[in-house]
Structure 1
Amino acid sequence: MSALAYDGLAMAGRQLRRVRNSPGLAVLTQLMPVNMLLFFGYVFGSAIAMPGREYRAFLVPGLLVATAAGGLMTGMFQAAADTHRGVTDRFRSLPVSRAAVPLGQAVADLVVTTAGTVPLLLVGLAVGWRIEGSALAAAGAVGLLLLFRFACTCAGIFLGLLSRSEEAAGQLGASSFVLPLLSDAYIPTDHLPGWLRTLAEWNPISAVTTALRDLFGNAPVPPGAAWPVAHPVAGSLAWSLLLVAVFLPAAVRRCGGE
């Protein structure tokens, strides 16, 4: 086993133990999307008319992607906590791969996210959401979702390493909840004003959400959309790989003290 793989597994194990030692926080974090599904689906859903479509079926893929985008906040807060408590400096003094630190955190987050997605999917099935596409397409949707979560976590780790304090990282991370609101995660963008629709459709969350709806067979690609939404699978891959290519090397350099 290579040094990077060995050190990465060690760092991932450390992150998973952090989750195990804070079960209440983990449960609350995983229950939030379920609460949002019930609230949006039954309160707002009655006020949103979608001819030929069930709003709750439309909403589930959006909530899956909004939860994946939460990797930005999680990665930021955990990296900031390690930085300002001296843990990152300790890692720099040890003979471990610098890439293993952010990779281990991102992989551990991916494991927790995968487990936490199950309750949301089960509640989605209970309220009427169904996978109407093929099993292969559904597997592709899950793969895109996890890749996007990994990309958002990498971005969050880098920003957390840059933060001046845990409080600042927490406040900045909490503000990321606005990003799904400026996308098609919760509402269709067809009838938005031109400039706002353009902004929403170039939001990476919109591309991934549209890709999931298309692959799950829940909704077709909207006509006349911007390129990332008109070609959602390619757009999702492009956004995710771009985020990883920019932020993962930057986080590795930052972990090395550069």
Structure 2
Amino acid sequence: MTIDVPAIPRTPAARLRWALSDGWTLTRRALTHWARRPAQVVVGLLFPVMVVLMFRYLFGGQMRVPGGGGYAEFLLPGMYAMTMAFGLETTFAAISGDAAKGVTDRFRSLPMASSAVVTGRAAADLLNSALALALMIACGLAVGWRWHDGPGRALAAFGLLLLLRFALLWAGIYLGLVAGNPELLAAVQILVWPVGFLSNVFAAPSTMPGWLGAVAEWNPLSATVSAARELFGNPGWGGGSWAARHSLLLAVLWPALITAIFFPLSVRRFRRLGSG
């Protein structure tokens, strides 16, 4: 029996169509897996909601909001960004799990675009993160969070949150390909959680030791949180540093830089798997 292997497209336009088609095929694969294991998806979606409820009702009474205002309106933009950042763990687990099971090697043996595995995973995880963000928004509205500067600026804030998630997708994909073992998720958590909390989500950088406060202010997560609070019209820490005054600019530049670094690294790493 002979198997006809499709020819590799020659023109740039044909290659792009080929890559998009293969990427969408692998996106549907991930969505199908989630549909068959809904409990795993539900647990992942409900965890950030439980964290919001815990901070809102267990600790909220002791929190002083800078400049006044409701604690929920201060808390929720930070929790939205934290949810996007911690999604990196989901991406890492999926990519490293496929590598450990040999699925990635099977994909490499197929006549498919080399970028499809990473772009397919990125698209699927971004859809999942959009659903998680929508659930978090509903939770925020339920506990008293509101935006105050119109729907246009609110949509821009949501866009910046998803932009951060999109950038961190590529970091998660690259780390997953490098590790190739889902059991190393704990090591990624050791990296992600300190970076998440070393930000302006819960504490003002001005209250930290000088060098630590500078690190927190220049944290990409801090830029997105500050920009989201500004666009929502929610209270924030403020600050006179360059990073604090240009958070909107940094909320775009940081994700662009992270993507520019980790996207080509992810595709290159995938191409070199198994080459020694």
Q: Structure 1 stretch 211-220 or stretch 59-68: which is displaced more?
A: 211-220
Task: Name the SS of the counterpart of 1:256 in structure 2.
Answer: helix
Amino acid at match of 2:68: G
Correspondence 1:108 to 2:121: no
Amino acid at match of 2:202: Y
State whether residues 76 and 159 of structure 1, in contact with CA within 8 Å, keep that contact through their aligned partners in structure 2: yes
Aligned residues: 256
Look up the match of 1:80: 96
Q: Distance in 2 between matches of 1:148 and 1:216?
A: 17
Residues 1-258 of structure 1: pairs in structure 2 closer than 5 A: 2-50=17-65, 51-168=67-184, 170-175=185-190, 176-219=192-235, 222-227=238-243, 229-257=244-272
Q: Distance in 2 between matches of 1:46 and 1:188?
A: 18
In the TM superposition, residue 226 of structure 1 has moved relative to its aligned partner by: 4.2
Q: Distance in 2 between matches of 1:58 and 1:220?
A: 6
Q: Distance in 2 between matches of 1:226 and 1:193?
A: 18
In the TM superposition, residue 192 of structure 1 has moved relative to its aligned partner by: 2.2
In the TM superposition, residue 172 of structure 1 has moved relative to its aligned partner by: 2.0
Q: Distance in 1 between matches of 2:37 and 2:189?
A: 19
State whether residues 214 and 221 of structure 1, in contact with CA within 8 Å, keep that contact through their aligned partners in structure 2: no
Per-residue CA deviations over 1:137-167 (Å, capped at 9, x if unaligned) read 1111111111110111110000010005220
Larger Rg: 2
Amino acid at match of 1:235: L
State whether residues 95 and 180 of structure 2, in contact with CA within 8 Å, keep that contact through their aligned partners in structure 1: no
Q: Structure 1 stretch 46-55 or stretch 79-88: which is displaced more?
A: 46-55
State whether residues 167 and 255 of structure 2, in contact with CA within 8 Å, keep that contact through their aligned partners in structure 1: yes
Amino acid at match of 2:170: C
Q: Distance in 2 between matches of 1:197 and 1:234?
A: 19
State whether residues 202 and 226 of structure 1, in contact with CA within 8 Å, keep that contact through their aligned partners in structure 2: no
In the TM superposition, residue 173 of structure 1 has moved relative to its aligned partner by: 2.7
State whether residues 201 and 226 of structure 1, in contact with CA within 8 Å, keep that contact through their aligned partners in structure 2: no
Task: Name the SS of the counterpart of 2:157 in structure 1.
Answer: helix
Amino acid at match of 2:60: G
With normalisation by structure 1, the TM-score equals 0.94
Q: Distance in 2 between matches of 1:221 and 1:242?
A: 25
Q: Distance in 2 between matches of 1:226 and 1:200?
A: 13
In the TM superposition, residue 19 of structure 1 has moved relative to its aligned partner by: 1.6
Task: Name the SS of the counterpart of 1:190 in structure 2.
Answer: helix
State whether residues 180 and 186 of structure 1, in contact with CA within 8 Å, keep that contact through their aligned partners in structure 2: no
In the TM superposition, residue 251 of structure 1 has moved relative to its aligned partner by: 0.6
List alignment gaps of at least 5 residues for structure 1.
none
- Matched-pair identity in %: 38
With normalisation by structure 2, the TM-score equals 0.88
Amino acid at match of 2:254: W
Q: Distance in 2 between matches of 1:192 and 1:218?
A: 22
Q: Structure 1 stretch 62-71 or stretch 175-184: which is displaced more?
A: 175-184
Q: Distance in 1 between matches of 2:158 and 2:250?
A: 15
Taking a change above 3 Å as real, the CA distance of residues 137 and 219 of structure 1, as seen in their structure-2 partners, is same
Q: Distance in 2 between matches of 1:184 and 1:125?
A: 22
Per-residue CA deviations over 1:3-24 (Å, capped at 9, x if unaligned) read 0110110011111112222211
Amino acid at match of 2:39: G
State whether residues 74 and 173 of structure 1, in contact with CA within 8 Å, keep that contact through their aligned partners in structure 2: no
Amino acid at match of 1:13: R
CA root-mean-square deviation: 1.5
